[in-house]
Amino acid sequence: MSDSIVTQPTLPIIASGLVDSNNRTEKFSFSGHESFVCRHFWPKKGYDFVKKGLRFADSNSVVALGVGKNMVASIQYWMRAFGLLDQASQISDLAHYLFGDKGKDIYLEKIGTLWLLHYQLVRDRKASIYHLVFNEFRKERPEFTKSQLVNYLERKCRENGNTVSSKTLQRDVDVFVRMYARPTPATSSIEDDFVSLLIDLELLGEIEQLKSAGGSYYRIEAKDRENIPAEIVLYAILMQNLGDSISWSVLLNEPNNAGVVFAMTANGLLAKINEIITRFPDITLKDDAGIRELQFVRRPTPQQVLDTYYGS
């Protein structure tokens, strides 16, 4: 089953850019969200819609989903960005696991599910800004304005010989900020306070005392992240497929690894690793002559780890 996106503006802006571990050039992808952040109920709504055999391009999709035409396109975009649908709009195994008849967290009530979706958003690269910000930009600029982030994205595209309009990037940056930063009293409305799926992760904060001609400053600050379940951290480690012995430095500092994606301090990550080795006897943390490694005697599967978290 395949479908096209509803209206022309929903087509993602693609630019060559990211290089993966196999030295293959991947593609940046901007736009497609129609300037809407993902609402809390959209993943389940989108899952049910597709499971019924309906398509986002169908003329009755607006009625079936109970939202406007641009929101239809946005729901499709976010389902893909979170890895809940593939490019052909087929439901992923993760989507079935979370939202199916025996779904583990149908209404997204567990904080671990939100961390899981954040991890998917950063790792899967279907919405490039999330991968770039958490893996690269925050190391370059711990504190930043929206305009500085736009300039960074323009530079990344330019370095790879591609041009994306500033307005497109500005919309991506605006949505990125609204996905994570809790609205301030001066800018929020009743709807804004509750609308974004990932606000409760508290990954992005506005720095009240810092203002500039470019607007507010924001910070993704490394924290202990006590509310991340240890199983979600282990899931992220396993999904990297780094073998049976993984350097502590890699876990803490390398792209797409837990310390980076979850913006964790060394102490916070160590606390989660200690929880992991307590719960999973076949995993150990070795520290020999100052060389610290996470080692697997036997690797659980990512689903086994999630089953442990969700109580299956």
- The domains found in the chain, sorted by start residue, are 8-219 (no CATH), 230-310 (1.10.10)
Question: Which residue type occupies 260?
Answer: V
pLDDT for res 17: 45
Identify whether the C-beta of residue 85 lies closer than 8 Å to the C-beta of residue 120. Answer: no
Mean pLDDT by 10 residues, the chain (312 residues): 31 45 61 93 97 94 94 96 92 97 96 98 94 96 94 91 86 96 66 77 87 79 97 98 95 97 98 97 91 95 96 82
Identify whether the C-beta of residue 263 lies closer than 8 Å to the C-beta of residue 223. Answer: yes
Q: Is 100 exposed, middle or buried (0-12, 13-18, 19+ CB in 10 A)?
A: middle
Packing angle of the helix pair 266-279, 230-239 (nearest 10 deg):
90
CA-based nearest residue to 276, from 252, 294, 293? 294
What element of type H or E holds 171?
A: helix 166-180
Whole-model pTM: value is 0.89
Question: Which residue type occupies 296?
Answer: F
Identify whether the C-beta of residue 305 lies closer than 8 Å to the C-beta of residue 238. Answer: yes
Would you tell me how many other CB atoms lie within 10 Å of the CB of residue 8? 7
Question: Which residue type occupies 63?
Answer: V
Identify whether the C-beta of residue 275 lies closer than 8 Å to the C-beta of residue 228. Answer: no
Whole-angstrom Cα distance, residue 226 to residue 233?
11
Identify whether the C-beta of residue 75 lies closer than 8 Å to the C-beta of residue 65. Answer: yes
pLDDT for res 123: 95
Whole-angstrom Cα distance, residue 138 to residue 101?
39
pLDDT for res 160: 78
Whole-angstrom Cα distance, residue 286 to residue 185?
48
Identify whether the C-beta of residue 29 lies closer than 8 Å to the C-beta of residue 96. Answer: no
pLDDT for res 232: 98
Beta-carbon-side half-sphere exposure of residue 178 (alpha carbons within 13 Å): 21
- The pair of structure tokens assigned to 117 is 């979706």
pLDDT for res 9: 32
Whole-angstrom Cα distance, residue 254 to residue 294?
15
